[in-house]
Structure 1
Amino acid sequence: MSFESLGLAPFLLRALAEQGYETPTPIQQQAIPLALAGHDLLAGAQTGTGKTAAFGLPLLQYLGTEPQKVGPGPRKPRALVLTPTRELATQVHDSLRGYSKYLRIPSAVIYGGVGMGNQLDSLRRGVDMVIACPGRLIDHIERRSIDLSGIEVLILDEADRMLDMGFLPSIKRILAKLPKQNRQTLLFSATFPESIKQLAMEFMRNPREVQVTPQNTVAETIAHRVHPVDTARKRELLLHLLGQDARVQTLVFAKTKHGSDKLATHLEKAGIQAAAIHGNKSQGQRLRALGDFKSGKVKVLVATDIAARGIDIDQLPRVINYDLPMVAEDYVHRIGRTGRNGANGEALSLVSQEDAKYLRQIVRMLGRDMEIRDLPGFEPQVPIRWGNSAPGKAEQPGGQRPPRKPGGGRGRRPSGGGEGQAHAHAGNRGGNGRSGARAPAAAHAHQRNQQRNGGGPRRDANR
């Protein structure tokens, strides 16, 4: 299938060809014809599946071919794209400008963390398209510097993340300012919790649904590996892993803003080019760090979950979870930045005893095995207790196993139920996690997923 077959206009096809686009991705194949036909759309798509073009191309074709409904007063925006973070807003804005190279569609990108002067100037001049984060958009609404009564197309990008970040009240306030009639709405989300379904029922009209990947799935080209380690030695182990090949670009995830800064400083002192990106950084600092990472000037970028949204780098070979996420779904978002478009990628996790419960949640959610490998010289002083009836529980009854001696770092990949294969059966008692084994999904992973409540542990407030 080609982009021509999707019904896109020549001015878009020309821009796509110049940017090297050849074959539409599955989400583009399914979403673009429905959006061009004017349908409301609920689209399930992970980061890295081409979703920006899936909603952006139909939006630009509409704005470029449908005349504006001219009314009294100054020019009003015709299209609104809501995103959870300023990095993603900037990325979407840049992509749409690239696709609309042969169109004249004035636009503005609106987010917090910077002065309002440039944004106010753009809005006063008049724009057709606004890409915005909910918080700053509310600020403009309260200042009456933006009029949303002329919006004809609304797009919510990464809707699950916006709700997860507490933007639901802001989104409802924004929706109340939009025209209810003659508006097309496209909602893109990696997952569809009940809150999103209820929101969709409130403001969408008979939406069509497309889902290109099962929820919470990851690319098969990503190798998952867990390295058990004592908390006090995590930094040392991270330096060891990064030092094995200092040329490999690596995205490192930390739990908190303060922790990200400390870790980046520690890496810099050790001679590794590193930068941190999180919510306390100014927009200029964040864009500079991201630009340095994309260009290769910085080899390691340390990020919190929220700040990492919108980091879109082709061929990123490695992601390291210095801290595991407390919400299992965030693991999918994190590692989705590697292994894209069929490329191989590595997802490494440094897991201490206090992280074991989060690893169990992740493995149950994924429903797949995850290799656990001791690294010589970094074995935990006391073997990690993975727990009964849970992934990571090695089939090795009996008390504590002494720490493994150096030289036992080769991870085994057992098949079947032989020694070293971890099991999750309820009847398994005693014993601790055996490093060098796999942490498989629970035998009844599907049943567990059905029983899981959607909330999970509360997110760290410092991120």
Structure 2
Amino acid sequence: MMEGEVEEEPEFVPLRKKQRNDYGQEDNHVPSYYQETSEASNRSEEDIDGEHCPNPTTNFYEMGLPTDIIYRLFHLGIEYPTPIQMQCCPAILSGRDVIGNAETGSGKTLAYVLPLLVHLRHRMQSETSVEPNRGPIGLILVPTRELVEQIFQEIEKFTSPTRNPYLSHTIPTTHQHEYLPQVQEYRDGDLLYSHVTPNLPTAKILGVIGGVSVQSQLSSIHRSGVDVVIATPGRLLDLIDRGAITTDRLTYLVFDEADRMLSLNMEDQLRKFVAGCTQSVRQTLLFSATMPTSVTRLARSAVMNPIYIAVGEVGQLAQSVIHNVVFVDNKDKRSSLLRLLRETPRPPVIVFCNHSYVVDRVVDWLKEEQFHAVGIHSNKSQNYRNTVMKTFREGGVDVLVASDLVSRGIDVAEVEHVILYDIPDTIEDYVHRSGRTGRKGREGYCSSLLTWHCKIAPELKKLLREAQQQMPVELERDTRLFGKDIVSTEFGDHPRDKMKYKSLR
């Protein structure tokens, strides 16, 4: 955005009359998913590795969770743990380091949030005195700002606010206003809540992200300390360098979406942070949907004697998603997108594009066709992005057109249809984009517009075949023609190699 230019505020006019169910219990909910206990209890050695692995549990009572947390789970409509939770929760609660691999939408966030709540309870009750500007007990590192907010909200579900939520940049500086309720609209700033659960002392949970004022975050920490931090690596290191956050109290460390952080060239930042952790007793958890060499390298330096847990095929498609790959010429992508949207029974829908300018262009097209669509990408301000995601979750947006910004970790259970207007350049991103539907066992659909420009045709063909999904004949025949120099004519697109081959025959 050019200097002095005012960003247009998103217009949100919900088209649906029925509000979404808070617990995600839609018509296509599949409760039997939570009862497939054989997935966790009958594993091969390749699925679970490590010395003295705790046995998996089939319900939350067997995990030894406090009763109030179990009641809260039931209140949220969560009666049974998912397979990743069945194995991870006992391992984490036993104090072991864990490396977890699970398909997207498997419930891995809750797999480390539940043990974190128990860990907080024991630590805070055992502490006799803590300095006002104390460092955190728990720290969760994630790759994007949107994930910071989502995990923050996930933890908030299991806590009751001791006061209304407020943003750290709006905290009054005078003592007489310190405990007055603050009701503020969301503006650029970090998240700060004070929470309490039964038998748990007041816990300060802070979400810190880049792109906003660091001064508000500094004042929040210096004023009352913090017990749990959810952060992106860059801003966390900035606060550590300023002396605002220390690691001498840190005993619970989580790397979530580790493969994504490393793909964004954050390896040096993560290694610098791990090297600076001085706490001799620390439990470290690393979660990743894929396991490239860079993640293995990070794991070797961050975890000790870990338990390795893989649920499902790592890097494979979610079994709950039906894939519909449609081969089209580039000139027909717009009409194909409109057809797919009109065939969708009900919103919300996510449409993925590879570039920011394509996101904006698609949004304009959809608005012309009277779709209630909003775009989100990295060139939008943080305030705009937060507003869009909040409104999308609440049902105020029917079509979210997005870049890869929301392809990982963003969980909106009601999304039944994801459309890949552009197929990404890596197969890992395809897995994550398609995984925005079919969350936690609910049935979902992923439609992809395949053109000759696709750079991952061989990997996509292999992935679809392994998942026993249908594919177009163009993909079945010869993937070597994809991703080459393309000739566009009024009759459609043609790979130059194919035209040359035909001319020689």
TM-score by length of 1: 0.78
- Code of the residue aligned with 2:331 in structure 1: it is A
Match of 2:353 in 1: 254
Query: How has the CA–CA distance of structure 1 residues 92 and 170 changed in structure 2, closer, same or farther, with 3 Å as cutoff?
Result: same
**1:369 Cα offset (Å):** 4.6
Answer yes or no: is the 8 Å Cα contact 2:407–2:436 preserved in 1.
Answer: no
Which of the numbers 188, 196, 221 marks the counterpart of 2:320? 221
**1:137 Cα offset (Å):** 1.0
Which of the numbers 349, 352, 362 marks the counterpart of 2:448? 349
For structure 1, the 5+ residue unaligned runs are 375-383, 393-402, 405-429, 432-463
Which of the numbers 326, 343, 354 marks the counterpart of 2:425? 326
Query: How has the CA–CA distance of structure 1 residues 203 and 310 changed in structure 2, closer, same or farther, with 3 Å as cutoff?
Result: closer
Partner Cα distance (2:480, 2:128) in 1: 59
Query: How has the CA–CA distance of structure 1 residues 232 and 312 changed in structure 2, closer, same or farther, with 3 Å as cutoff?
Result: same
Partner Cα distance (2:228, 2:441) in 1: 33
Where 1:6 maps in the other structure, the secondary structure is: coil
Answer yes or no: is the 8 Å Cα contact 2:317–2:467 preserved in 1.
Answer: no
**1:7 Cα offset (Å):** 1.2
Where 1:106 maps in the other structure, the secondary structure is: strand
Where 2:363 maps in the other structure, the secondary structure is: helix
Q: How does 1:188-337 map to 2 (within 5 A)?
A: 188-245=287-344, 247-337=346-436
Partner Cα distance (2:282, 2:333) in 1: 51
Q: How does 1:145-160 map to 2 (within 5 A)?
A: 145-160=244-259
Partner Cα distance (2:462, 2:322) in 1: 17
Answer yes or no: is the 8 Å Cα contact 1:329–1:362 preserved in 2.
Answer: no
- Is 1:110 the counterpart of 2:110? The answer is no
Partner Cα distance (1:282, 1:309) in 2: 19
Answer yes or no: is the 8 Å Cα contact 1:363–1:370 preserved in 2.
Answer: no
Deviation per residue, 1:231-277 (Å, 9 max, x gap): 12212221222133473321111001221122112211221111111
Aligned length: 387
Partner Cα distance (1:199, 1:190) in 2: 15
Answer yes or no: is the 8 Å Cα contact 1:109–1:119 preserved in 2.
Answer: no
**1:313 Cα offset (Å):** 0.9
Partner Cα distance (2:468, 2:74) in 1: 40
Deviation per residue, 1:98-145 (Å, 9 max, x gap): 223413211100111222243223212201110000111122122222
Partner Cα distance (1:61, 1:369) in 2: 41
Answer yes or no: is the 8 Å Cα contact 2:103–2:318 preserved in 1.
Answer: no
Answer yes or no: is the 8 Å Cα contact 1:225–1:349 preserved in 2.
Answer: yes
Deviation per residue, 1:294-332 (Å, 9 max, x gap): 222211111111333332111311111100010011111
Answer yes or no: is the 8 Å Cα contact 2:317–2:463 preserved in 1.
Answer: no
Which of the numbers 53, 68, 72 marks the counterpart of 1:11? 68
Deviation per residue, 1:329-384 (Å, 9 max, x gap): 111111111123333221111111112x423322224534543469xxxxxxxxx6
Answer yes or no: is the 8 Å Cα contact 2:116–2:252 preserved in 1.
Answer: yes
Answer yes or no: is the 8 Å Cα contact 2:135–2:249 preserved in 1.
Answer: yes
**1:187 Cα offset (Å):** 0.7
Match of 2:106 in 1: 49
Which of the numbers 79, 96, 101 marks the counterpart of 1:22? 79
Partner Cα distance (1:219, 1:389) in 2: 23
**1:37 Cα offset (Å):** 0.9
Between 75-84 and 240-249, the greater mean CA deviation after superposition: 240-249
Partner Cα distance (2:467, 2:95) in 1: 39
Answer yes or no: is the 8 Å Cα contact 1:353–1:385 preserved in 2.
Answer: no
Match of 1:363 in 2: 461
- Code of the residue aligned with 1:14 in structure 2: it is Y
Match of 2:155 in 1: 96
For structure 2, the 5+ residue unaligned runs are 1-57, 161-196, 483-490, 493-500
**1:386 Cα offset (Å):** 6.9
Q: How does 1:66-77 map to 2 (within 5 A)?
A: 66=123, 67-68=126-127, 70=129, 74-77=133-136
Match of 2:218 in 1: 120
Between 336-345 and 87-96, the greater mean CA deviation after superposition: 336-345
Answer yes or no: is the 8 Å Cα contact 1:279–1:307 preserved in 2.
Answer: no
Deviation per residue, 1:10-69 (Å, 9 max, x gap): 232232222222101111110111111111111112331111111011111011122237
Query: What is the aligned-residue RMSD (CA, Å)?
Result: 2.5
Answer yes or no: is the 8 Å Cα contact 2:458–2:479 preserved in 1.
Answer: no
Answer yes or no: is the 8 Å Cα contact 1:154–1:185 preserved in 2.
Answer: yes
Q: How does 1:429-444 map to 2 (within 5 A)?
A: none
Which of the numbers 37, 44, 53 marks the counterpart of 2:94? 37
Match of 2:21 in 1: none
Where 1:131 maps in the other structure, the secondary structure is: strand
**1:90 Cα offset (Å):** 0.7
Match of 1:183 in 2: 282
Match of 2:41 in 1: none
Partner Cα distance (2:471, 2:102) in 1: 29
- Code of the residue aligned with 1:112 in structure 2: it is G
Query: How has the CA–CA distance of structure 1 residues 247 and 281 changed in structure 2, closer, same or farther, with 3 Å as cutoff?
Result: same
